[in-house]
Chains A and B, each alone.
Chain A
Amino acid sequence: MARRRSDSEINSRPCDVLISQSFSRARWKDLHVGDVLRIHKDQVIPADLLLLCSSEPHSLCYVETADIDGETNLKFRQALSATHNNLTSHPSEETLAAFDGVVLCEEPNNRLYTFRGQLHWQGESLLLDNEHILLRGTVLRNTQFAYGLTIYTGADTKILRNCGKLRVKRTQMEKDFNRVVIGIVLSVLLAALLLSIGAGVFSSWAVNHTEVLSALVVNGNPVYTGFLIFWSYIILLSPAMPIVLYISFEVIHTVHSLFIGWDRDMYWQQADTPAQARNTSLNEELGQVGYLLSDKTGTLTQNRLLFRQCCIAGDIYGDSSCRTEDIEPMDLSWNPFSCGGLFMSAPRLVEKLRGQQCPFSRQFLRALSLCHTVMAEWKQEAPVYQAASPDEEALVSAARELGWAFLSRTRDFIVVSELGVERQYQLLALLDFTSKRRRMSVLVREPEGGLKLYCKGADIVILERLQKDCLHQERTETALELFAQACLRTLCVAVRSVPEASWEQWRKTLAQSATMATSDRDALLEKLYDQMERELQLIGVTAIEDRLQEGVPETIALLQQAGLKVWVLTGDKKETAVNIGYACKLLDPDTRLLEWQELRQILQSPDPGVTFFKARQTELWAVDKQTAGAKTALVLTGPELTEFDQRPEWGATFMSLADQCQSVLCCRVTPGQKADIVTLVRKHTRSVTMAIGDGANDVNMIKTAHIGVGLAGVEGGQAVQSADFALSQFRFLQKLLLVHGRWSYRRISLFLRYFLFKTCCFALVHIWFGFFNGFSAQSLYETWFIAFYTMFYTAAPIMCVAFFEQDVNSDSSLKWPELYKSGQRQELSSPLLLTSSLLYAVYTSLVLFFIPFGVFHNTAYDLQTMAVTVAMAAVFTATIEIVLITRYWTKFNVAAVCVSVLLFFICSKITHSPRLFQASPKDYFFLGASDKAFIDPLVWLTALLTAWTAVLPSVTALALNVILTKHDKHKVHSVLSQPVELRSKLRRGTSLRRSSYAVSQGAGPGRLITSGTCIRSTVPTVDEKVTASNDRTD
């Protein structure tokens, strides 16, 4: 229902469609292929569109693809120059209406990053690729409006093609249980068959021998009698087929789901959203999760990068130890460009900057304000930055807060306000970022005339390019260590004064290279860049915090202690993912990352397990043997994962390796691949998988995993629509899994086993009785008892257990996450256990019949007295059993047990009363049976003995369990004290420095800046240049 409601809400979202020369509102569901749409700024794109033109120069437009690939930076899309030139030269609506191009494109598919097609228009055939396409689910940013031609709609869109099929999820326990029920049904049929054969044999004997009975055998035909008896036995044994159980099962699931929604610990006040169980039938699997596959963006991280600390000339500014919220904002009122958002308190630095004392700090900030590819857009008298990399945006914003405000850029100039003084730098060259170079530089001519190269990049690459005997290097490296320990993302900033002569020479070589073929040119460029970025002088280090969601590291640590494997699957860059892995304690500082090349070697080797083990024993791990344990993590990227498609046999090996690793990080994976990984885990392990994510790119994985959790967060993300559980915060997983999941698992396991036991033990008695009544399907119970037994006498206590049972309260569950492991090992619900409770039920039914049989054999007691006795024993047995099971006696439990037993006596008295008999003798023929039985000591003694003998195995098991777990608990306690130590060790451990910086797709947008394409403030550059840049794009 909830799903349907949210679907219809999405279907009726409005958008602008061009209908005969004017745009009018239409609903999403009314879109057709071929419609021309107008998308406004910040609007979600409703279908896959071919970008025709936009309000921006060159028909560029920016889209945010967070929902699709998890990357938060903006990406640009550009219309074909042909459509751009033709459609923007005139008033748009008319020309758009006149647009009569024909698009040839491939069949709808799920490949997000590729598109092939052709546009036939005005006699030309133009090639289309991914750059021209706006995907459904992306959001238009920083662009007033864009016009697009609908190519794929609805289920044909790329994102929905990636969503996977909606499947009805059922829990493993339910499947096991269904199997057991089928087993029971078959056994009952078999028993009925055997009994009816017995009946046939008996009746044929009776025909010949028993005068009194033979006349009763129907038609005198034993086969026909047997046939009728078969059906009678099926009816008689039908209570053993737990049909009522399915109803109770649903009720329990619903109540558990309600408890999840009612939990205040999972209520997020900021968005006023409680947790929500959208699928009410998976609760018990929450207690068995073995693999948690998490999205990164929006799930682990908040999507906010904060400039937290920096080290300039060896001095560290800012304090990372205090929480972000606690930082006192600095007084930046002197800065006209300040608009907040700096979470660093360093009055000392501000003093230095304003006092003009420290040239280093000034250079540092100048570097930050110059060396980047950020665009500035003026809005309400203030620059708004748009960056391809969120890191850069954070750095530039921080520089602005501290007085070095980047104001605007043209193709050749960068304007910066330095403490209120506007300065214009001539941009000579932009040495762009690539994931291989891991650095970027700008070469500028200062207003004073000097040439400066500002460079920023990963610490390793920068440190090896420094001048000899660089000042402060040692102290800066210490700072790097410190920042790394605080899980901050660091970048080194360096500067170099370039002599005019070398610049001239370099420029000439560069100009030459431009004419060369692409492959050669790239190699040469790299070499050239390398020449320039030398002899650097280290200025400082920036430290950026990728804000994690609240409580993420604690949650992950707790879940890992609980035996869960936490994997991160993200569409984002490897660097970012690894960094976040460290930041959220998923990886320890000394964790060794195993990347694809090594993994491949291991996978290809004849005996992967041994190779892996050997590799771990030797080389890098051997540094510290004690910590060499499980401190390995696999890092994979999407393209590498495609190799698994060709080598299906690697799957099992991979999983066994992954099992020994601390974690697995998969980066740059498409939604489809995320689902593939889930499938891989599902295929090769028997564990329950849980996928958590917030965006449309996680939908597929959420649907594929056993349990899908959607993070609603602030924006109520896409994933919630198809998730089984909706949470507001990642940290709520703790309570959802360790408390609700564990309880649900325990409660439902207990419920199932008890239910099976109580129905079977009571119904199977008829099989044994059959041997002593000529297999005549005689009932050992009053009909009313059969009806009431499951409804009144035994239902309430087990339902109370299923609702309220807690072996350990919620605080302790969180304190001792190890307790969760019993669920992963299926300790309470294995098919073996289910079978054993069935066997126990068979034993009990034997006891229930044969002890009264022994007592009443050859006595003057009649059938009705025996029936009451056995019924009493059955109720006592069921009650004692539930008393043994219940560990958490709320007043409801006590009341339920007492009332159930009392009900047995009261109902028996009532149904055996003269009044009811007189009303309907046929229905209440047990008249007086209980009156007589309840005052007979022999009946009581028999019932007590029977009940006690019936529960003796379970009492003994419980007692042994108590004696043995007493011992175990000590063990648990001694284990429990360890994690605390571990955590502190984690802080002390030496850490490898991490410094990373990455922009989307590996290459930076420097090319666009240098070509001037995307700079609005400039007059559109010459057409040739645009086409040149477009050619390169293609």
Chain B
Amino acid sequence: MVKQEREIGNRPDNTAFTQQRLPAWQPMLSAGIVIPGFVLIGLAFIGIGVALFVTSRSIQVLEMDYTGVEPTSPCFRCSDPDVKNCVCNLAFNIDTLFKGPVFFYYGLSNYFQNYRKYSVSKDDDQLSGDLDNFESPSDTCSPYETVGSVPIVPCGSIANSMFNDTFKLYQIVNGNEKLVPFDGKGIAWWTDYNVKYRNPSVTPLKNAFNNTVKPISWPKPAYELDTSDAANNGFINQDFLVWMRTAALPDFRKLYRRITEGDYAKGLPAGNYTLKIAYNYPVLSFQGRKMVVFSNVSWMGGKNEFLGIAYLVVGSMCVFMSIVMLIVYAKFKFPEED
């Protein structure tokens, strides 16, 4: 008995796994599934494409370059880097109601915010309110780490290069300028101003910045970014946060304000407008462009014709492919039957 057991000791187990007989579903594809499948997917893509395209078309966009390269441009005067505290007025008119809520962006082009050395040039610990890093910023901030031996707060290249043009929009009503109220709340990510960036828990905030200097190109220190609202001051200033969230590509927009209040909650009515721009930010040195954009949004965000068209193209390709397949199928099937 024992011997018998030993004799079959090496016999492999008879399980579905070891014998490779695992039950399995083996889909049998055929032309009858493949071709209609292709048509269906193609039609679905075309459907999405049409929806996207139509939605995108319904979005109003007003984009204006104010770099001031051309001499005719109102900002031509300001584009000279030697001119300080220059304000230029950009006049435009709107024919029909610009439906609200209107989003107001500034845009930069040929600006490599995604340059690696640039995009890592910040100190996350410092920005989350760690006072130790106020004294000695991380070396990732180099060369905007210290001035002499005094640490820069907020340190690093991103903070230093913060966009500092400011905009005020006026509607011309009966020859008078009427200020269009901007809403600057909630333009940054919630996680940014609640988790990622924190002011040091020191009151008043100014004290935390003792023995530090402001970034070289900044006109005022971080604790004076918005003195009127403590929740929008220091590191959790929304404009600062928007800037700190680096763009994906060299041509980008960043949300500046929303127009949601007062008479303009429904949108910008037709009429003449003037945008007063405090022109500070130099872009001509690297052949960049600055622009402002008014846009309203839909479920898919801002205007994006590329996606709709891409869906249409891919969808049509699928349908086209299915027709080719049908022809191939017919060619191969019928000779066989003969």
Contacts and interface: CB of A to CB of B under 8 A. Distances in A.
Interface of A: 206, 209-213, 215-218, 232, 259, 261-264, 267, 269, 272-274, 743, 772-774, 776-779, 804, 806, 809-810, 851, 853-867, 887-893, 914, 917-918, 921-922, 925, 927-928, 931-932, 936-938, 941-942, 945, 948-949, 952, 955-956, 958-960, 962-964, 966-967, 970
A272 B8 CA distance: 6
B80 to A, nearest CB: 15
Contacts of A860: 105, 252-255, 302
Contacts of A941: 48, 52, 300, 307, 311
Contacts of B27: 887, 889
A272 B114 contact: no
B112 A773 contact: yes
21 contacts: A213-B112, A216-B143, A217-B117, A232-B116, A264-B18, A269-B11, A272-B8, A773-B112, A774-B112, A778-B119, A804-B24, A851-B310, A857-B249, A862-B245, A890-B22, A891-B23, A921-B124, A931-B191, A938-B307, A942-B307, A966-B31
Nearest to B245: A862
Contacts of A866: 248-249
B120 to A, nearest CB: 9
B136 interface: no
A928 B195 contact: yes
A628 to B, nearest CB: 31
Contacts of B22: 804, 890-892
A932 B189 contact: yes
Given A216-B121, A941-B300, A928 B325 contact: no
B125 A889 contact: no
B332 A209 contact: no
Contacts of B132: none
A514 to B, nearest CB: 59
B195 A854 contact: no
A264 B248 contact: no
Contacts of A963: 31, 34-35, 325, 328-329, 332
B20 A259 contact: yes
B51 to A, nearest CB: 10
A209 B285 contact: yes
Contacts of B252: 858-860
Contacts of B45: 945, 948
Contacts of A261: 12
Contacts of B35: 959, 963
Contacts of B124: 921-922, 925
B208 interface: no
Contact of B119 (A863, A936, A949): A863
B32 to A, nearest CB: 9
Nearest to A209: B286
B115 A778 contact: yes
Contact of B253 (A209, A264, A858, A887): A858
A863 B246 contact: yes
Contacts of B115: 213, 216, 773-774, 776, 778
A859 B306 CA distance: 12
B285 A914 contact: no
Contacts of B30: 962, 966
Contacts of A211: 282, 285-286
Nearest to A888: B24
Contact of B304 (A269, A859, A921, A932): A859
B274 interface: no
B116 A776 contact: yes
A865 B31 contact: no
A971 to B, nearest CB: 9
A213 B325 contact: no
A56 B161 CA distance: 106
Interface residues of B, number: 90
A79 B64 CA distance: 112
A858 B301 CA distance: 13
A932 B117 CA distance: 25
A295 B12 CA distance: 28
B157 A857 contact: no
A917 B249 contact: no
Nearest to B106: A860
B249 A927 contact: no
Given A858-B252, A921-B124, A209 B307 contact: no
Given A859-B252, A890-B24, A964 B332 contact: yes
Interface string B281-310: 010011100000000000111101011001
Nearest to B107: A858
Contact of A262 (B18, B112, B253, B310): B18
A952 B29 contact: no
Given A855-B304, A921-B125, A274 B24 contact: no
Contacts of B14: 264
Given A262-B18, A928-B191, A862 B38 contact: no
A936 B117 contact: no
B241 to A, nearest CB: 11
A945 B308 CA distance: 10
A215 B145 CA distance: 12
A213 B10 contact: no
Interface string B184-213: 000001111001100000000000000000
Given A860-B254, A861-B248, A890-B23, A962 B31 contact: yes
Contacts of A956: 321
Contacts of A853: 249
A582 to B, nearest CB: 36
Interface in B44-82: 45, 48, 52
B314 interface: yes
B271 interface: no
B275 interface: no
B302 A959 contact: no
B142 to A, nearest CB: 8
B191 A773 contact: no
The 5 closest A-B pairs by CB, nearest first: A928-B191, A262-B18, A921-B124, A866-B248, A776-B116
B286 A862 contact: no
Contact of A810 (B20, B250, B321): B20
B118 A216 contact: yes
Given A206-B286, A773-B114, A861-B247, 4 more contacts: A212-B157, A776-B112, A865-B248, A922-B124
B143 to A, nearest CB: 5
Nearest to A936: B301
A533 to B, nearest CB: 53
A851 B45 CA distance: 15
B122 to A, nearest CB: 10
A232 B117 CA distance: 11
B31 A209 contact: no
A854 B310 CA distance: 9
B10 A889 contact: no
A806 B31 contact: no
Nearest to A225: B117
A810 to B, nearest CB: 7
Contact of A967 (B23, B287, B332): B332
A253 to B, nearest CB: 16
A563 to B, nearest CB: 23
A691 B299 CA distance: 68
